[in-house]
A and B are shown apart, each in its own frame.
Chain A
Amino acid sequence: MKALYNYLKEVAFAFVSLANGLLLTLKYFVTPWKSIITENYPDNRANPSVADEFAGEVILIHDENNEHKCTACTLCQLACPNNSIQIISKQVETEDGKKKKVLDKWVYHLEMCTFCKQCIDACPQDAIKMTNSYELSCFDRSTLTKILNQPGSKLKEKPKVTAKVQE
């Protein structure tokens, strides 16, 4: 008797849970103006709602003095799972005669990028970020290889650490 009761209870609860799902989709079906979340992309190019978290292409952040924060440490290049980043650095001599490695070209292969954000996580300087641009398609494959550092840009010098003055 217990077994029969459990059997029937199982059937009844199955129907209740199915009805829950059916009611939800019926709600979506009868109120399409509320529930449809599709962006009418080609029709509405002007102001589509793109989430801030949406990961588009990688950019190197430049400030108003055309300075970036990349020290060419290549950690992003190492973190990238499919080699879409190439950091080309060069040796320069500073005023006090020291040799220093600085960024020459920050090469980004957009066609290979999987938008995984691992380069962003790996960067110790917070020099790069991902924009939420979504119109990345183009007719020529070669335009997808980008050099991210702007011409004439240079490393942003960190403010000199000064000893705390005792009051």
Chain B
Amino acid sequence: MIQFSDVLAWIHQLLSSCMAPWLVFLIELVVASVAAVVALLVCVIIMVYMERKVAGHMQLRHGPNRVGWHGVCQLFADIIKLLLKECFTPTRADKLLFVVAPVLSLCVSLLALAPISWGPGLVLWNTNIGVLFVTAISSMGVIGILMAGWSSNNKYALMGAMRSGAQIVSYELSAGLSIVAIVALAGTLNTGGIIESQANGWWILKGHLPAFFAFIIYIIASTAECNRAPFDLAEAESELTAGYHTEYSGMQFGIFYLNEYINMGVVSMVASTLFLGGWQPFYLPFDFGWAHAFNDIMALKFMETWPAWISWVSLAWPLVWFFGKLFLIIFFMMWFRWTFPRLRIDQLLKLEWKYLLPLSIVNLVIIALIVVLGLHF
């Protein structure tokens, strides 16, 4: 079976044979990062269309159905509209910070992509602190939001930014604790290592109920971290703008919008890496003959004797699982958004500090007991 690492090694050799080492490094760096960003942008395009369709159907409407087949070109029409709009700065706003804020939050979201493992051997930065890096970087997104709100010279934008900031900072805690739970189970911070440790079953199954609770807490906390409903209390009631980016227009607003979806993609990737086995297919953690047979079918073991070109097709198998899980979690987040009513700021902070955080601490203690006593599969 061909692995992604074989393909990458082949490309590396091909480049090395005709170029200087520093040039090879530079080209690989650029190509890899562009590939990751393009993959994510394609995901964002699908996500935006999906959100509008999901929203429509859940609210007894059609969603976009005018531009193109079932409205699939609607997003491109929106992008053209945003590009044609003027980007203006309010008078007496802090011009530099105002321009930097959307770019900064986009950079922060894209930085969190670096240690994520897309497939076996397909990772931009294979580091032993991967998960720590993602949590550290994703909590920096609040800087962009506060910067945007503060520099807008608008008290509503500032208030919106502060509310979003309070929310992101507080929900960071329970998201972090549920990440720690899985790190304790897997015994590594390397995203590739965490995924490898799920080769005999996903942690959500192997870690018994506490891992499932950790998953639910992570989903709730990361929904809040992405500033999405039901936690989007910075959102203005009658406009399509959300507090901190009230004053932004054109593509500057577009970047904030893009950023929201990239954030969603990143948290879903982290959730699927930690709880649902990343690019691992669905494995059963049992030691019976039929479970092994099921796992072999899932790992496409039967393809090994097939002609060679089929193994090229099977290269896509982990990507199918990875993106399938990604969009499953994103569907869950959209489902929440179009079902639940928006929370008030006191309810929101109460939910975090009175319910989620105590429960996730207790959950972490139980997980620690499971790890120490070796009760997990």
Does the CB pair A28–B57 fall under 8 Å? Answer: yes
A35 to B338, CA, bound (A): 15
Interface segment among A18-26, A94-102, A136-144, A153-161: the answer is A18-26
Does the CB pair A25–B338 fall under 8 Å? Answer: yes
Asked if A36 is at the interface of the complex by the 8 Å CB criterion, the answer is: yes
Does the CB pair B62–A29 fall under 8 Å? Answer: no
Asked if B359 is at the interface of the complex by the 8 Å CB criterion, the answer is: yes
Does the CB pair A36–B61 fall under 8 Å? Answer: yes
Q: Do A37 and B339 contact each other (CB < 8 Å), given the known contacts A11-B355, A11-B359? A: no
Q: Name which residue of chain A comes closest to B216, CB basis.
A: A15
Q: Mark B309-346, 1 if CB is under 8 A from A, else 0.
A: 00000000000000000000000000110111000000
Asked if B54 is at the interface of the complex by the 8 Å CB criterion, the answer is: yes
Does the CB pair A21–B340 fall under 8 Å? Answer: yes
Asked if B60 is at the interface of the complex by the 8 Å CB criterion, the answer is: yes
Residues of A within 8 A of B8 (CB): none
Asked if B58 is at the interface of the complex by the 8 Å CB criterion, the answer is: yes
- Out of A11, A21, A38, name the residue touching B60 (CB < 8 Å): A38
Residues of A within 8 A of B57 (CB): 28-29, 32, 35-36
Does the CB pair A38–B61 fall under 8 Å? Answer: yes
Residues of A within 8 A of B58 (CB): 25, 28-29
Q: Do A38 and B62 contact each other (CB < 8 Å), given the known contacts A28-B57, A29-B54, A32-B57? A: yes
- Out of B54, B339, B359, name the residue touching A21 (CB < 8 Å): B339
Q: Mark B81-103, 1 if CB is under 8 A from A, else 0.
A: 00000000000000000000000
What's the nearest-Cβ distance from chain A to residue B328, in Å? 14
Q: Which of A3-50 contact B (CB under 8 A)?
A: 11, 18, 21-22, 24-26, 28-29, 32, 35-38
Q: Mark B57-71, 1 if CB is under 8 A from A, else 0.
A: 111111000000000
What's the nearest-Cβ distance from chain B to residue A149, in Å? 40
What's the nearest-Cβ distance from chain A to residue B119, in Å? 30
Residues of A within 8 A of B62 (CB): 36, 38
Q: Name which residue of chain B comes closest to A19, CB basis.
A: B339
What's the nearest-Cβ distance from chain A to residue B88, in Å? 32
What's the nearest-Cβ distance from chain A to residue B377, in Å? 26
Residues of B within 8 A of A21 (CB): 339-340
A29 to B339, CA, bound (A): 11
Residues of B within 8 A of A35 (CB): 57, 60
Does the CB pair B60–A36 fall under 8 Å? Answer: yes
What's the nearest-Cβ distance from chain B to residue A161, in Å? 54
A35 to B57, CA, bound (A): 8
* 30 contacting pairs across A/B (C-beta < 8 A): A11-B355, A11-B359, A18-B339, A18-B340, A22-B335, A22-B336, A24-B339, A25-B58, A25-B335, A25-B338, A25-B339, A26-B335, A28-B57, A28-B58, A28-B59, A28-B60, A29-B54, A29-B57, A29-B58, A29-B335, A32-B57, A35-B60, A36-B57, A36-B60, A36-B61, A36-B62, A37-B60, A38-B60, A38-B61, A38-B62
Q: Give me the 3 closest cross-chain CB pairs, A-B, nearest first.
A: A25-B58, A25-B339, A32-B57
Q: What is A's interface to B at a CB cutoff of 8 Å?
A: 11, 18, 21-22, 24-26, 28-29, 32, 35-38
